[in-house]
Structure 1
Amino acid sequence: MRLSRYFLPTLKETPSEAQIASHRLMLRAGMIRQGAAGIYSWLPLGLKVLKKIEAIVREEQDRAGAQELLMPTIQPSEIWVESGRYDDYGKEMLRIEDRHGREMLYGPTNEELITDIFRKEVRSYRDLPKMLYHIQWKFRDEIRPRFGVMRGREFLMKDAYSFDLTPEGAVKSYNAMFVAYLRTFARLGLKAIPMRADTGPIGGDLSHEFIILAETGESQVFFHKDFEKKDALSLNPDYAADLQPIVDDWTSIYAATEEMHDAATCAVAEGDLVTGRGIEVGHIFYFGDKYSKPMGATVQGPDGELVNVEMGSYGIGVSRLIGAIIEAFHDDNGIIWPESVAPFKVGLINLRSGDAACDGACDQLYKDLGAAGVEVLYDDRDERAGAKFANMDLIGLPWQVTVGPRGLEKGMVELKNRATGEKTEVALADIVAKLA
């Protein structure tokens, strides 16, 4: 993409309403614009990152055996009355009425709707287990939306739901999602620490939230230093096998949020206990028949008797993850994207637009990199060099290739690693192979 044609409305000054780094940088880098409090439009650069995160989440869900569907954003209120949550959910639920006077709501989550779908279509234990998921926009009417996409009112979420005949089967489904989450966050460039969590309004008695470390995290977290050695990317699980040993390995190491941590009873030695700030990026629950029982989601068991299915739910805040990644990876100059989610891999900078040699070299590089499958944002604007460098640092692409007249005289270009700041001279003839 040529920057001269790209819709990228960057800002030099920090908007006054932005309180944390991710909000400031997403606004300045032209990724989002606010339409109303806690509600954002996603501009091209932001949407590219959103789609890349979504793709990784989808790949790992599919790999774990979950099947994708798509449920609507608007739900009928009566299924929430059935489950008993309609009045309990509170003012975070946006309640609306259609032209016929029917009470509807903008879904904050989908336990009720997926249970309604299941109970109408599945009758026998032979059809179990089932795991279904979708990636859809949600709305929760936060009393105080803040921090940009980290705590907005409208957000993109992956929510999955498992259905099993027995508690033992449900735990297997839970474990599959546990491992899939570890792999998902690792592929996004994040080290996520699973921590035992309160189930809250979702219900149930088994729950973990996945926390990444960031200085601006919402809550304080405590964990054993051994977590720093764990590598989720090394996991190559067989999802048909028993995954309990993997889950036990990860949960046997102490980790707790400030709500769950008790300094008086914590057995971890002081020198081994690490403390920091954390951001929740995923949450999983096993809640048994909390929804299937009141909503009549039963199947015929092996003995012919009707059985309430055992259920779990599993959420990842897809849009929230962008803010979390930026909180974890940025510096004073801007964002530092992990390659797996970067909107473009390479920023190509023409130091002297209008110069025949520079234009020719950049045009050919742009063409060759694209042919090699490398996504490039080419700054071909007639703009001063300092502004081009600052802009590339702000949007945080992993690699910057700078082409200038002096270097071209020697057949060289400059390659910069955005994460380390390291700059090296590379032969123009070699740069495509190096980046591809």
Structure 2
Amino acid sequence: MRYSQLFSSTLREAPREAESMNLELLTRAGFVRQLTSGIYNLLPLGERVMRRLTEIIRDEIEMIGGQEVSMASLQPRDIWEAKQTGGVSRAELYGPVLFSLRDRRERDMVLAPTHEEMVTLLAKEFIHSYRDLPRLIFQIQRKFRDEPRPRGGLLRLREFVMKDLYSFDADEAGLSASFERVRGAYCRIFDRCGLNYIVVEADSGAIGGKESLEFIALTEAGEDVVLRCEDCGYAANVEKAEFQRSAQEHEDKLALEEVYTPACKSISDLATFLGIPEARTMKVVCYSVELRLIMAVVRGDLEINEIKLAHTLSKVGLNTIDLHLATAEELEQAGIVAGYASPLGQGDAILVIADYSLNRDRNFVAGANRAEYHTRNVNYPRDFRVDVWDDIASAYDGASCARCGGTLHAFRGVELGHIFKLGTVYSNLFDATFLDAEGQTRPLIMACYGLGVPRLLACIVEQHHDERGLRWPQAVAPYAVSLLGLDLERAEVGEAAERLYAELRDVGIAVLFDDRRESAGVKFNDSDLLGFPLRVVVSKRSLKQGGVEIKGRADQESCIVPLSEAVYKIREALE
């Protein structure tokens, strides 16, 4: 490709809407242009990177037996209204994130954010016997999610390309085997893309299922927090991570004592006022779900994990779709004083969920359930009741690993891919069954595996750039070589550059030939910004020195090679 014909241009300054490094660099280098919040147009350079990424994904997924399909994005809404266990549909779970519309016949439709329902219906039609199993079905297709806060450039979009893969097996052993095959394929995909990532345990969210893993690209631009043990390697998303609660020194239970604590509505204010560690206080956050007030209680130095709390509430039969912080009106109706609430003396109308951290220590300071007062020496079970004990606290940097007692360290990152063991959630929902070897009807056992391709591209940018611009790994670079022609008006230079351009194309090397009538400075700056693996310069100076100048994007020094050996040396450098 000749740069003079490229449908794109570079920008000297970052656009005002570029809130992330990936968006800034991809926009400045002419890979993308933003249409509106969460929606982008890919320009030719961006499309070439996406094509390289999808080729790698197809290669690895087909290697493990994946068969590619293309499922409908526009779907009847009634598919999404099917009720799962607990009487909740996926339309309800996704809520306003699900793009909804009506066709000309007034039939309710949706733009699919994912395809578990559709692929299960297809499997029901084509899988009838254990002899038809296992099966791996995948697609690389556009998805639509009306995200409330699209952000991070290409990291969180409203329209995006996803590779979604679905496995169907006859039993749990087959499910685990398929899961491990895909896990290995994902690792090979991310390795080939040159990414620094870790695999962590994760929450399954709206997809459902009993077990899931996330592949997290480590970058400060990420909105995910993961914790990893430095000793045993245990790793999990903060939404899932388990940890050991530290215990205070043993004390005898002391008598309750009410104390005046003016303007001490926060844990930090209370601990400072009383001169005690935050770990000796009791933190209470009130929620409302299904018109019932929930009092979530943890040790004062910990934070409540709302994902864990939602799972706990689901276990006791509550639908957590509308789980929210209790409003001032709801608190007032329940007689709760904001900032001074505690489980002391609460009636059965309030469901008390307590974290395990509160059953290890004694003599906590808790709210006195009246303004400006707290109560010392609160102990369980003498002074308050708990309806459910569970892990509802967030792990943190420096916490003790639940598996080995080592230290957990926190990292920021971006979810590259998420894989789920679904079991029979969707096969039961749509009666997708098969006949086993004994002729018995059994539900298909499923797993699903997602991978966002624009997010993969964005993570590569976040990890591979410097102060001058992009630095593409060779496997995904839109072009392998940036060929710069300087002094092209001189016959010997123009002829040499054209000849080298033709020879590189003849041997299959992807090259962008900068044949523009621009200054050397502009061309060098644009070459660095675009970030292709190798820069080759043909100029009056290079020819005088004996040939062409070759320099790797990450190298400090360049070298001159004879024009007659240039193609060989370029291929050698790329290999």
Q: TM-score, normalised by structure 1?
A: 0.91
Cα shift readout 1:13-48 (whole Å, capped 9, x = no counterpart): 110011111000111111111222211111100000
Whether 2:165 is the aligned partner of 1:160: answer yes
SS state at 1:212 partner: strand
* 1:225 CA displacement: 6.0
Are the counterparts in 1 of residues 199 and 213 from structure 2 also a CA contact under 8 Å? Answer: yes
Question: How far off its partner does 1:190 sit?
Answer: 1.3
Alignment partner, residue 501 of structure 2:
366
Range with bigger deviation, 324-333 or 191-200:
191-200
Q: Which residue of 1 aligns with 2:346?
A: none
1:101, CA displacement in angstroms?
Answer: 1.1
Contact 2:113 2:145 survives alignment (8 Å): yes
- Between the aligned partners of 1:106 and 1:338, the Cα distance in structure 2 is 34
Q: Secondary structure of 1:82's match? A: coil
Q: If you compute each CA radius of gyration, which structure gives the higher value, 1 or 2?
A: 2
1:430 aligns with 2:435: no
Structure 1 residues 240-255: aligned runs within 5 Å: 253-255=233-235
Where do 1:171-182 residues align within 5 Å? Answer: 171-182=176-187
Contact preservation (8 Å) 1:400, 1:415: yes
Structure 1 residue 277: deviation in Å?
2.1
Distance 1:124 1:219 in 2: 41
Once residues 200 and 406 of structure 1 are traced to their aligned partners in structure 2, the CA distance between those partners, rounded to angstroms, is: 60
- The aligned residue for residue 237 of structure 2 is 257
Check whether the contact 1:137–1:157 (CA below 8 A) recurs between aligned residues: yes
Partners of 2:174 and 2:140 lie apart in 1 by 25
CA distance in 2, matches of 1:313, 1:287: 7
Code of the residue aligned with 2:177 in structure 1: it is: K
Matches within 5 A, 1:6-405: 6-83=6-83, 84-223=89-228, 253-261=233-241, 262=395, 263-266=398-401, 267=404, 269=406, 275-405=410-540
Secondary structure of 1:168's counterpart equals helix
Letter in 2 for 1:288: G
Letter matched to residue 115 of structure 1: T
Distance 1:125 1:215 in 2: 46
1:224 positional shift: 5.1
Letter in 2 for 1:258: V
**Per-residue CA shift, 1:186-236, capped at 9, x if unaligned?**
01111331101111111112110001112322233333569xxxxxxxxxx
- CA distance in 2 between counterparts of 1:109 and 1:417 reads 41
Q: Deviations over 1:384-404 (max 9, x none)?
A: 000001101111101000111
Q: 2-side partners of 1:268 and 1:395: how far apart?
A: 46
CA distance in 2, matches of 1:268, 1:345: 47
Aligned counterparts of 1:323 and 1:14: Cα–Cα separation in 2: 16
Cα–Cα, structure 1 residues 313 and 3, in superposed 2: closer, same or farther, change >3 Å? same
Structure 2: distance between partners of 1:18 and 1:68: 35
In the superposition, relative to structure 1, how do residues 140 and 367 fare at CA in structure 2: closer, same or farther (>3 Å)?
same
| SS in structure 2 of the partner of residue 391 of structure 1 | helix
Supply the AA of the counterpart residue of 1:184.
I
Structure 1: state its 5+ residue gaps. 227-251
Tell me, yes or no, if structure 1 residue 419 matches structure 2 residue 547: no
Shift in CA distance, 225/357, structure 1 to aligned 2, threshold 3 Å: farther
Aligned counterparts of 1:20 and 1:139: Cα–Cα separation in 2: 22
Q: CA deviation at 1:274?
A: 5.5
Cα deviations across residues 91-129 of structure 1 (Å, max 9, x unaligned)? 100011101111110010000000011112221111111
Cα deviation per residue 1:222-265 (whole Å; 9 max; x = unaligned)? 33569xxxxxxxxxxxxxxxxxxxxxxxxx73223333443433
TM-fit CA distance, 1:353: 2.0
The CA deviation string for residues 322-357 of structure 1, in whole angstroms up to 9 with x for no partner, is 111000001111110000000000000111121111
Matched, 1:406 2:570: no
The alpha carbon displacement at 1:88 in A equals 2.1
Number of residues of Structure 1 aligned to a counterpart in Structure 2 = 409
The one-letter code sitting in structure 2 at the alignment partner of 1:73 is S
Quote how far apart the aligned CAs of 1:2 are. Answer: 0.7
Residue 303 of structure 1 deviates from its aligned partner by: 1.9
Q: What amino acid does structure 1 have at the position aligned with 2:207?
A: I
**Post-superposition CA distance 1:278-302 (Å, at most 9, x none):** 1110110001011100110111122
RMSD, matched Cα:
1.6
**SS at the partner of 1:89?**
helix
Separation in 1, partners of 2:442, 2:219: 44
C-alpha contact (below 8 Å) 2:545/2:560 kept by paired residues:
no
Deviations 1:132-178 (A, max 9, x none): 00000001001111222111100000000011111111111111100
- Are the equivalent residues in 2 in contact too, given 1:254–1:268 (CA < 8 A)? no
Confirm or deny: 8 A CA contact 2:400 2:406 kept in the other structure: no
Q: C-alpha separation between the residues in 2 aligned to 1:221 and 1:268?
A: 17
**1:147 match: secondary structure:** coil
Structure 1 residues 277, 420: closer, same or farther in 2, change over 3 A?
Answer: farther
Would you tell me which structure has more helix in proportion to its own residues?
1
> Aligned AA for 1:365?
L
For the 8 Å contact 1:129–1:164, the answer to whether it is kept is yes
Residue 341 of structure 1 aligns to a residue in which SS?
coil
Cα distance in structure 1, aligned partners of 2:470 and 2:215: 23
Q: Distance in 2 between matches of 1:43 and 1:383?
A: 22
Structure 2 gap ranges (5+): 84-88, 242-394
Report the Cα distance in structure 1 between the residues aligned to 2:81 and 2:468, rounded to whole angstroms: 50
